[in-house]
Structure 1
């Protein structure tokens, strides 16, 4: 087990009427090019969205982290973290896997640890964060489809998830659970200094340990625009399959889209809205 007495998070999958989606604001703030200047061999890098990413075929899954832990074996582990979050259940599974490791786990928040990634960060026996880094906590949110009974079931199912996360944040920071729940209700962003002050991180990560791959950051802009639009449309209640279809049709209708990797998310969203209106008229 972890050196700290960290609480386990128990979470079963939501009903099939629900699906977790990344937070649009977190995607907007995320610089995918942030990485570690140097990392020990016994390091697990979590530098992507949490869970399988349909847009790239990538993403960080609990299976990948479990395999990395097996490969590292009987020694301490470093976790380099820069992620906008994603699938809550994958985040919980990764947290529990790190929590169960029998040696010290040091989490280094290089850039952003938002949503499900902030849950993963809490698995560290020691949490370091860059002064320019951010940590964001909020209630789990999903897209749910169905009648009132389905939606009631979804809401009831999510209650213990939020309670479990509030427990983890409270135990780490030393605040009352009600205070942690308030942070989550308000979707609270902590910069590096605030995270350390509130006890959500232990100390600062030296600036010279953080680097930026500008090529990777530039290449990620286009896909991040797509992810942001997908997240925004999800918040408007559009089902996943319809969102994928709409975005695909818009991209096929933009012959220059592939060439311009800096495709603006607002332009893409406007095009999708126009397409939706056409389809439904």
Structure 2
């Protein structure tokens, strides 16, 4: 089995820190009725609830995702997400299950991927988001019980968890870990366009692709090329190396414009058409 390039999260649940419920503010923003057409296909896993089992037995668990992965025989697994998050450690387990699967993982953010659900989304080889969808990142949100010393210990305990999440977001976005940590500190909401621009998503859902084609520009072309390469099962690290050559080695930069820019554009268009076949 070939592990994908995304970093593993080696975290365990501290005995005095619990994270069973999502932030109440996220529940107010979540629209649980959102579903995708074709969501019942044999190779589709749906994460359309809170992460982790609640007191009523509802919610998405790592055990359920593991069973779904075992039952899928296709070469590509599609994961549909519309979730306000929930149990952080359960989300970490689901993230690691997806990232260590040898098949191509395509994540589709239908409405909201917040908190622990946004961590799960980062396990995708390809992450697609609706233009009207949202991805929200923040520091680990927990409930701690005890005196002031216990609370101080809980805060210290959560620091490596926040650092690990920042590493995952930074790896996906191709940015510095400090930038991702800033997103988390500010509890940042990314709409579809923001998520693609930041590099946390690779493109839009199929229904929104026509709008992507209207954006134009070198940066948009590079993102479309990256998506096509992902569909050819080119690993994320290989895609970044190829695009870095095109952009002169600067992540997220537009290609350097030269007198032969038209030739470069024609070559990029030709490569894109070849990959579509």
Instruction: Identify whether the pair has TM-score above 0.5, normalized to the shorter chain.
Output: yes
2:35 aligns to what SS in structure 1? strand
1:35-114 equivalences under 5 Å are 35-39=35-39, 40-54=41-55, 56-73=56-73, 75-114=75-114
1:195 aligns to what SS in structure 2? helix
- Mapped contact 1:106–1:125 kept (Cα < 8 A): yes
- Mapped contact 1:18–1:145 kept (Cα < 8 A): no
1:175 aligns to what SS in structure 2? coil
- Mapped contact 2:3–2:100 kept (Cα < 8 A): no
Q: Which residue of 1 aligns with 2:130?
A: 130
Q: Which residue of 2 aligns with 1:192?
A: 192
Structure 1: distance between partners of 2:207 and 2:54: 30
Consecutive unaligned residues of structure 2, counting only runs of 5 or more, are 210-277
Could you give the per-residue CA deviations for residues 236-278 of structure 1, whole angstroms, max 9, x where no partner exists?
A: xxxxxxxxxxxxxxxxxxxxxxxxxxxxxxxxxxxxxxxxxxx
Structure 2: distance between partners of 1:147 and 1:96: 34
- Mapped contact 2:17–2:142 kept (Cα < 8 A): no
Give the CA deviation at 1:128. 0.4
CA RMSD in angstroms, aligned pairs only: 1.7
Give the CA deviation at 1:71. 0.8
Give the CA deviation at 1:206. 2.4
Structure 2: distance between partners of 1:2 and 1:92: 19
- Mapped contact 1:2–1:99 kept (Cα < 8 A): no
1:1-281 equivalences under 5 Å are 4-16=4-16, 18-39=18-39, 40-54=41-55, 56-73=56-73, 75-207=75-207
- Mapped contact 1:91–1:116 kept (Cα < 8 A): yes
Residues 1:10 and 1:191: Cα distance change in structure 2 (over 3 Å): same
Give the CA deviation at 1:16. 3.1
Structure 2: distance between partners of 1:147 and 1:13: 20
Give the CA deviation at 1:156. 1.9
Residues 1:17 and 1:113: Cα distance change in structure 2 (over 3 Å): closer
Structure 2: distance between partners of 1:190 and 1:18: 27
Residues 1:62 and 1:37: Cα distance change in structure 2 (over 3 Å): same
Structure 2: distance between partners of 1:17 and 1:82: 26
Give the CA deviation at 1:74. 6.2
1:34 aligns to what SS in structure 2? coil
Structure 2: distance between partners of 1:125 and 1:53: 29
- State which drifts further: 69-78 or 85-94: 69-78
Q: How many residues were matched structurally? A: 208
Give the CA deviation at 1:151. 1.8
Give the CA deviation at 1:104. 0.3
TM-score by length of 1: 0.70
1:139 aligns to what SS in structure 2? coil
Structure 2: distance between partners of 1:125 and 1:20: 28
Structure 2: distance between partners of 1:194 and 1:208: 14
Structure 2: distance between partners of 1:128 and 1:51: 23
Q: Which residue of 2 aligns with 1:215?
A: none
